[in-house]
Amino acid sequence: MSDTPPLTVPADRAAYAAAVQLAVDAAAAYYGDGTSSLDDDDYDRLVRGIEAYEAEHPGDVSPDSPTGKVAGGAVVGDVPHSTPMLSLDNVFSADGLAKWAAGLERRLGRPVTVWSVEPKLDGLAISARYRNGRLVQLITRGDGTAGEDVSHAIGTVVGLPGALTEPVTVEIRGEVMMTAAQFEAACAKRQAHDGTTFANPRSAAAGTLRAQDRPYVCELTFFGYGALPLPPGDGSEVAVRLRELPHSRIMGLVATWGVQTTAATPVAGVTATGVEEIQARVEQIAAQRADLAFGIDGIVIKCDLAEDQAQAGFSSRAPRWAVAYKLPAVEKITKLVAVEWNTGRTGIIAPRAVLEPVELDGSIVTYATLHNPNDITRRGLMLGDSVTVYKAGDVIPRVEAPVVHLRTGDEQPIAFPEACPNCGDAIDSSQERWRCVRGRACRALAPIAYAVGRDCLDIETLAESRIVQLLDAGFIADFADLFLLTRDQVLTLERMGDTSTDKLLAAIETAKTRPLSRVFCALGVRGTGRSMSRRIARHFATMEAVLAASADELQVVEGIGPKKAPDVVAELAELRPLIDKLIQAGVNMVEPGVTPAVAVDGAGDGQEDEKGEGSALPLAGMTVVVTGAMSGPLQDLSRNQVNELVERAGGKASSAVSAKTSLLVAGDKAGSKKAKAEGLGVRIASPEEFAALVGAFL
């Protein structure tokens, strides 16, 4: 985890006043209708800059300052809370967490024996009041003292039942949010209604919770994070238990009453006995973030025992016994400057967003994916728009939606290409993903360069400039033609003498012997890559079996679902002339070490060979991630070659560490992946240890 993010401290009193006004306006807009001119990360940095200025200039503090106030002081509710509903203080690193915990234990005069660690959900805090087990009122956090009545939303919030399993009088506190699926559905409804979309799930949830006059209904989700007695039930058995039980036990009660908590999710709340255990769980939750169906922006750490909470007490805006460990922002607002259109090696014409540079998840982002023209239309994007950009884990940044309320009127429509941006020929726009009518022939250089690269056929000495010479001379039209080249043809090329010609032809001859997985990868079938090509080759063993496979048979291969399988079948049919040419040229079409009979009839998993059954392979059933610089027996292997080794030994190669990872091979300078693996408790091996494990397959 990184240290505290950088912030800008106002330079003088005028800048301070402007910063305060910006924060107040942003908070008022967000807590009013779910809109804001700032994303969460920028708002947090702005407020911390204001706090820093006020610490240096206490005489300048404005009464409108958002510091020390719940919701930045932007909200005044009309329904009093039975107990203040406060914010949380933040830390941003392991060091910050350790300092906070040490300070709390000094305040208590003793160690904290049990901590609670749970995800910080990226939604809106609300209070749900139940009387005799019936949901009677929903209230927003407001200013922490009183909130807004949003009971009209009862019945639209998943996870918040209208009746509990017991007739208790209680107040459940938690977060209302939108899952990824709910957000997509909400955007579709809004698009159909007025042609716009929501900026992000959080603002969509905020606006939806308060909306009473929309002609359409959007579903929300609730996760409970606490419970407390609701007057007049102060003397009831339930009230006594809620005042005395540890937080972890209270959350167990909440779940038994039928309220949704994070207990059934991959980031369930746990207890810990020290800062090291807390940090390990922080890393585990952070590693799961990209795969969750809902947003989190941090981890909440709190004293689990009621007596610790009572002794620590509260500040004016936050409990002293709890803190939020904030994670790097994965969503930001920036400007859409331009859209570039590029034709890929398969003829697909893809748009790419050019953005005003923005820091996102630890890196500076200037480009993001826009998927396809229909997606641009569906999201209502325009040049000059303020847009939300999303990134999580290793995912390529993507433009989520325009922030419609920030439009100035100067925005312009995005121009779609009328001809292929590469060759100028017509565009086939019959499907969502537009394609040049020439298909692969549009970009002959790109697919050939890809096919001969190190991760595919690995033809040494065949540089891109040499491929251009061969294309210009008319000697090749695709990479299969390379295997039909004659010595006389190559000698006619500029700067190709006897020695260089013989060396190139020898490399091409060697490429004929590459395994089927490399040959299949060289084909560049859309929707497949190096790992998928290896899985296909290991399962079917021969190109003949691959070509004979139906869509249903292809789905047996991990990662090929019912949507992708028909596309792969169609793509292979399109590539059949190229494949036939490769066969005629004598290129290998078999995966070494795989028994064709087993793979073709589907009786096995394609990993049975002369070394024994697939289940006996040393990495059978394991997902392996390789990171850092390899050493020892693996020193001279490329990353792709190490991944091939993983799959020959029965494992599945992956690029990202997650809870599903079985083994991390960590070389020198392993970096963040090793830290994630340690946090998740994933087994870690050095390159030398891994080489010993799979030595028979090296």
Whether residue 581 lies in the annotated active site = no
Of 71, 64, 68, 76, the C-alpha closest to 20 is 64
Please state whether beta strands 331-343 and 386-390 pair in parallel, antiparallel, or not at all (unpaired): antiparallel
Residue 322 carries which side chain, given as an amino acid letter? A
Cis peptide bond upstream of 232, omega within 30: yes
What's the CA gap between 679 and 1, in Å, rounded? 11
Both tokens of residue 373? 């023209």
Evaluate whether 348 touches 341 at the Cβ level (below 8 Å).
Answer: no
Strand ranges, E, within 264-395:
270-272, 296-303, 322-326, 331-343, 349-360, 363-369, 382-383, 386-390
* Per annotation, catalytic residue among 120, 189, 652, 676: 120
DSSP helix/strand/coil, 50? helix
DSSP letters of 438-489? Answer: TGGGGGSHHHHHHHTSTTTT--TT--HHHHHHHHHTTS-SSGGGGGG--HHH
What is the C-alpha separation between 12 and 53, in angstroms, rounded? 9
DSSP notation for 201-257: HHHHHHHHHH--S-SS---EEEEEEEEEE-TT-TTSHHHHHHHHS-HHHHHHHHHHT
Distance CA 678, CA 686 (A): 14
Give me 439's structure tokens: 């298909």
303 CA to centre of own chain? 30
Whole-number Å distance between alpha carbons of 226 and 253: 10
For the chain, what is the largest distance between any 2 Cα atoms, rounded to a whole number of angstroms?
A: 99
**What gap in Å lies between CA 36 and CA 28, rounded to an integer?**
8
Spatial separation of the C-alpha atoms in residues 343 and 439, rounded to whole Å: 10
Contacts with 307 (C-beta within 8 Å, 6 or more apart), sequence order? none
Rounded to an integer, what distance in angstroms lies between the CA atom of residue 92 and that of residue 342?
39
Q: Report residue 142: phi and psi, to 5°.
A: 60, -130
- Judge residue 51's burial from the number of C-beta atoms within 10 Å of its C-beta, 0-12 exposed, 13-18 middle, 19 or more buried: middle
Opening angle at CA 500, ends 495 and 502, nearest 5: 135
Tell me how far apart the alpha carbons of residues 613 and 29 are, in angstroms, rounded to a whole number: 63
Please report, to the nearest 10 degrees, the dihedral formed by the alpha carbons of residues 19, 25, 27, 29 taken in order.
-150
547: burial class by Cβ within 10 Å (0-12, 13-18, 19+)?
middle
Residue with tokens 């630890």: 362
DSSP code at position 287: H
What are the distances in angstroms from CA 183 to CA 92, 188, 199, 218? 28, 9, 10, 9
**Selection from 57, 77, 87 nearest residue 149 by Cα:** 77
Helix (H, G, I), strand (E, B) or coil at 91: strand
Closest CA to 187 of 218, 153, 221, 156: 218
- Classify residue 460 as exposed, middle or buried by CB count within 10 Å of its CB (0-12, 13-18, 19+): middle
471: which 2 tokens?
A: 């294309």
Kindly list the catalytic residues.
120
